Amino acid sequence: MPTAIEEFRVTGQRIDLREIMSRAQPLVLRGLCGDWPLVALAEKSDTAFAEELARHDNGTPVDVLLIDAQADGKIGYNATIDGFNYEHFRVSVTDALKRLAGYARQGTSPRGVALQSALLSQCVPDLVATHRLPFLDASVQPRLWLGNRVTTPAHFDSTHNIAVVACGRRRFTLFPPDQVRNLYVGPIDFAPTAAAISLPPLDAIDDSRWPKLREALDHAQTAELHPGDAIYIPPVWWHHVASLERLNALVNFWWHTDGVTEPGLHALMHCLLAYKSMPPAERGAWKALLDHYVFGEEEPGAHISAERRGVLGTLTPDVLARLKRLARPES
C-alpha cells in the first residue's frame, strides 16, 4: 500500500528549487502559500473564497467539464472507451462557481464539475501578482483548477509541476515512472484532456481485470494537502488526484528543465511510428543505439573534438535548428 510522501515545512517561501528538482522525487511543501489572499479567504469559508474569485473574473470563457452523475466524480471514458463520461463547456469562472454552488445545495450525488487549466492571466488577471511563486521565472504562468468532489485518474506531465491547494482538500497518490507497466493506462492518443489516464480505480486491487494494480500501489506515495500546502511532482511521475470537498481549488505551475526544447511525448509518438512494427531483433538493434546516444550515462561524442561533435555536442541555437531539420526530413 502507498507510503507517505516526504514533507518539508516551508517558512516564507524560502526553498532551494534546484535541490528539489535534482532529487527527482515528489515533495510536499507544507504551508508554502499560506500567505496567499485566496488561501486566507478559503480558511474563512467557501463563500468568501468564491466571492473573491468571482469579483476578479473578467468573463473570459474557460474549459469546464460536467461529469455524468453515475461516474461518482471520476473523469474518464464511457463504457466502450470510444467517448468520455463528461460534457465539455466554455463558460466564465463565475458561471462555473454558480453551478458548483447549486450542486452544493442539492447535497445528493451531484454531477462532477471540473474547471480545467485556466490561465489566471486570462480569466482573473488581477490575482496573478498576489498568487505567484517568487522562485519561479515570471514566464511560468499560474493555472486554476476548480471543482467539487472530482477525481482525476493517474496521469503524467512531461514538465516539472508545483501544485498549490488554494481551497478545500486534495489527496495526491503518486507512482514512479516505471509503474506504467502496472497502471493499465488507456489509449495514449485518445484520452480526457489529452493526458493518458490509468483505467482502474485505486480500490480495485481485488478485481481480476487489474492483477498488477496491487504492485503499483506498493510503490505509490500519497499525501493529503490543505489550503496553502503545495506539492512538487517531477516530470513523468504518474499522479492520481482526488478532490475531497464540495468546493476545491488548485493553482499549479508547469515548467521545463533548462535546455529541454521539445515535449518528450512527441518523441514517444515518433518512436512508436518508427520502431513498434519492427521484428524483435531489429527493434533491439535500435534500442542499443537509443541507449547509447540518448539514455546512456556516458558522453557518446567524447572521442570527437568538441568543434566536430555536431548534434552530439552543445545544443546551441544552430545545433537545435539542425536537429529539428533532421527530425523532420522531407517526404
HSE of 95, CA atoms in CB hemisphere, 13 A: 15
pLDDT at site 172: 98
For residue 135, give the 3-state DSSP assignment.
coil
Which grid coordinates belong to 62? 474557460
Q: Are 37 and 131 in contact (CB under 8 A)?
A: yes
Q: Are 175 and 219 in contact (CB under 8 A)?
A: yes
> Torsions phi, psi of 314, nearest 5?
-65, 135
Which grid coordinates belong to 127? 490575482
Which region holds residue 247: left if phi is over 0, alpha if psi is between -120 and 50, else beta?
A: beta
Q: Tens of pLDDT along the chain (331 residues)? A: 899 999 999 876 678 999 999 999 999 999 999 999 999 999 999 999 999 999 999 999 999 999 999 999 999 999 999 999 999 999 999 999 999 999 998 876 689 999 999 999 999 999 999 999 999 999 999 999 999 999 999 999 999 999 999 999 999 999 999 999 999 999 999 999 778 999 999 999 999 999 999 999 999 999 999 999 999 999 999 999 999 999 999 999 999 988 776 778 888 888 999 999 999 999 999 999 999 999 988 999 899 998 899 889 888 888 888 888 888 766 5
Strand order, beta sheet including 7-9: 7-9, 27-30, 230-233, 160-167, 248-255, 143-147, 112-119, 62-67, 86-91
Euclidean distance between CA atoms 147 and 169, whole angstroms: 11
Structural domains in the chain plus CATH codes: 3-255 (2.60.120.10), 264-327 (no CATH)
Which grid coordinates belong to 201? 480505480
For residue 308, give the 3-state DSSP assignment.
helix
Euclidean distance between CA atoms 317 and 308, whole angstroms: 16
